[in-house]
Amino acid sequence: MQMVDRLLDAVRVLDLSGADADAVTRLLADLGADVLKVEPPGGSAARQELPTLAGTSIAFAVHNANKRSAVLDPLNQDDRRQFLDLAATADIVVDSGLPGQAAAYGTSCAELADRYHHLVALSITDFGAVGPRSSWRATDPVLYAMSGSLSRSGPTTGTPVLPPDGIASATAAVQAAWAVLAAYYNRLRCGVGDYIDFSRFDAVVMALDPAFGAHGQVAAGIRGSDRWRGRPKNQDAYPIYPCKDGYVRLCVMAPRQWRGLRRWLGEPDDFQDPKYDVIGARFAAWPQISVLVAALFAERTMKELVAAGQEHGVPIAAVLTPSRILASEHFQAVGAITDTELVPGVHTRVPSGYFVVDEQRCGFRAPAPSAGQDEPRWLAAPTPTPAPSGRVGGYPFEGLRILDLGIIVAGGELSRLFGDLGGEVIKVESAQYPDGLRQARAGDAMSESFAWTHRNHLALGLNLRHTEGKEIFGRLVADADAVFANFKPGTLTSLGFSYQELHALNPRIVLAGSSAFGNRGPWSTRMGYGPLVRAATGVTRLWTSGATSSDALRHAFFDATTIFPDHVVGRVGAVLALAALIHRDRTGAGTHVHISQAEVVVNQLDTLFVTEAATGGRPALRDKPVTRRTPGGVDDTGVDLEWCSQPGAGGRSTPVGWSSGRPDEPPAGHPRGPPTDRPETAGRHGSSAHRPSTASGDGAGAVSPNPAGAATPGAAARSGHVGDLPAAAGHEPR
């Protein structure tokens, strides 16, 4: 892999985290930070987390790449002093769990932040270090349930369907990386560090299909919380069809795309009326149109259909399995998946990381170290940084000017994160090509989601295709810090504002871009709606119950109601853009950074993909050399359509339960039984079925149609809330 500037190479990170936070510091390591993992004698317990590969945790191996490891014995006084010396000279400390590993050395993140005023100390727990839920534990199923995501997932009635395991934790990790990097940037600005009490649950509420900001699907649960209690009735807005060797998904939105599909279907007489250019009319007639589509697709392969769809201008994607993605020519060509020795003696395919910097991959460089492989010291002397110039107590991004060309959810979330923390964000759009998120009911100036997303923004109407518009934008670039855009690759260049042209106007400018499949590679020119990204990256295929559908004609996939990965893409972009600004402030040099939504998804599911690669998808090999853990399930409490997620614990098998008290039959493949089958959840209201951790590490989470953190005692006891909703990163809207 070609070396690139490591954006955070002046940053020292003392890593005390366990399995629930290793991914946070991996993000910082990918960006060049010197991440020193301190482990007790015998190594971190996370090294044994399931699934394992040749006796080593796959998650540990993936999430601790690019780090160093030192062993310090908490019972040894010299080692305890050395630990404090490392903390005193670090920029960032990351710990996780209660009480956290720092407690073994006689301290805590809060105490370290008080002792060393320059230090940013991040404490990561499931529900926060304070509040009535602070002792509770959460797995991904619990986080899906309590955040509201699970309430929208699955068939209209019956058991909710858990999203793929790992997305919630990975989303929380990205949010944590953003929080700690924003606090570090603030330290550079004003000279004072901070202590961050970070809740993974709060992070999932804010960043996975949230009810606020650019609205995710949970917002629909709040708006209709007093009405229908089941999952959404429209499960096929982005229809999926079987074909000769699998499935494909369509996402026909614009009139030109419909006309392309109509040509592909042979211009059927029944659908020539111009009224079908309107999506509502097509939706009403889709049962009839669908018959024609199904017949056309049935005898063709996924590859043939995707190629033909591209020729006709029809947005289409194959519904791929992880094994097909690992072998994909696109991901191989762009270096998004690499072959490496992940653990000693075992080579396998591994997602390379989220980030591209100046057209080069900035990700996997070195495998996870063995415990104690390195000396407990920093690699280099402290790097001089500019003298602080900001006021203590101000917003972190005061003085930053950002030109926002971003659109829809991913672009809007990126700029909102900077605007909420004090940046001057100028939203640039034209009347001819307005942001699609503005679309609203007749008579409304804009959608509620657009208003939430672009709070704390300035607005400028500017036609970048017009000579005068170009001149005005160029003058703004000369005095800006960053430009954000998530257009289709090539759009900025066609407008005369490639990175080279922006750099000529302002050598310090940071261009942060994103696109569906990246700005290079065989898939880069594909139309990239979120549902197509999910299909092409394995999410759709994995978002399934595995049970037989009551509708024999329908597939078993249930990802149609999520907005994933848009919200987390905005946050990955924010982390990368901020790292580029930190590097710019130190070196004076601007940077072009880019992320691919598809690659974000693959890295969110990195443990799953590596497990698939190690087994080759062959069941006979799945216990050798891989040992797996058991995911959780969903229980019916038997009360008023209430459900409760039931996480797996370690390697034990935790069954999916169904209890009586409902008029409908249990879903196929689910055990039938009276409420006493699950005495801890059956017959209880969903909100009371959540139980905290036990000695075995088991627990449960109520499936809420609202984000369970939006107005609860646990949330009220924690800071960072405005009215009924959590504020972004603990700051009130200005």
Looking at the annotation, which residues are catalytic?
A: 566
Rg of the chain on CA atoms, in Å: 25
Looking up tokens 């043939």, which residue turns up? 304
Q: Which residues contact 119 (CB under 8 A, 6 or more apart)?
A: 87, 88, 90, 91, 92, 93, 112, 113, 193
Is residue 539 a contact partner of residue 164, using CB atoms and an 8 Å limit? Answer: yes
Is residue 632 a contact partner of residue 141, using CB atoms and an 8 Å limit? Answer: yes
**How many residues would you count in the chain?**
734
Is residue 725 a contact partner of residue 719, using CB atoms and an 8 Å limit? Answer: no
- Taking the C-alpha atoms of residue 566 and residue 600, their distance in angstroms, rounded to an integer, is 10
Would you call 429 helix, strand, or coil by DSSP? strand
**What is the 8-class DSSP label of residue 691?**
B
**What is the 8-class DSSP label of residue 382?**
P
Is residue 158 a contact partner of residue 669, using CB atoms and an 8 Å limit? Answer: no
Q: Give the DSSP H/E element, type plus range, for residue 510.
A: strand 510-515
How many CA atoms lie less than 13 Å away from 125 in the CB half-sphere?
A: 19
- Taking the C-alpha atoms of residue 454 and residue 460, their distance in angstroms, rounded to an integer, is 12
Q: Which residues contact 351 (CB under 8 A, 6 or more apart)?
A: 62, 336, 337, 364, 599, 602, 603, 606, 609, 610
Query: Which residue blocks in 313-370 are alpha helix, DSSP H?
Result: 322-326, 329-333
Query: Which residue blocks in 588-720 are alpha helix, DSSP H?
Result: 597-604, 606-615, 686-689, 713-716
Q: In what order do the strands lie in the sheet with 633-636?
A: 633-636, 643-646, 701-702
Q: Which amino acid is at 595?
A: I
Q: Helices 140-147 and 200-207: crossing angle, nearest 10°?
A: 50
Is residue 428 a contact partner of residue 404, using CB atoms and an 8 Å limit? Answer: yes
Percent of residues in the chain assigned helix, strand, coil, to nearest 5: 35, 15, 50
- Taking the C-alpha atoms of residue 335 and residue 353, their distance in angstroms, rounded to an integer, is 9
DSSP 39-78: E-TT--GGGGPSSEETTEEHHHHHHTTT-EEEE--TT-HH
CA 651 to chain centre: 26
- Taking the C-alpha atoms of residue 455 and residue 30, their distance in angstroms, rounded to an integer, is 31
- Taking the C-alpha atoms of residue 366 and residue 82, their distance in angstroms, rounded to an integer, is 26
Is residue 1 a contact partner of residue 65, using CB atoms and an 8 Å limit? Answer: no
- The first and second tokens of residue 341, run together, are 């020795």
Is residue 544 a contact partner of residue 560, using CB atoms and an 8 Å limit? Answer: no
- Taking the C-alpha atoms of residue 272 and residue 267, their distance in angstroms, rounded to an integer, is 7
What's the sign of the alpha-carbon dihedral 412, 413, 419, 423?
negative
Query: Which residue blocks in 191-254 are alpha helix, DSSP H?
Result: 200-207, 218-223
Is residue 404 a contact partner of residue 444, using CB atoms and an 8 Å limit? Answer: no
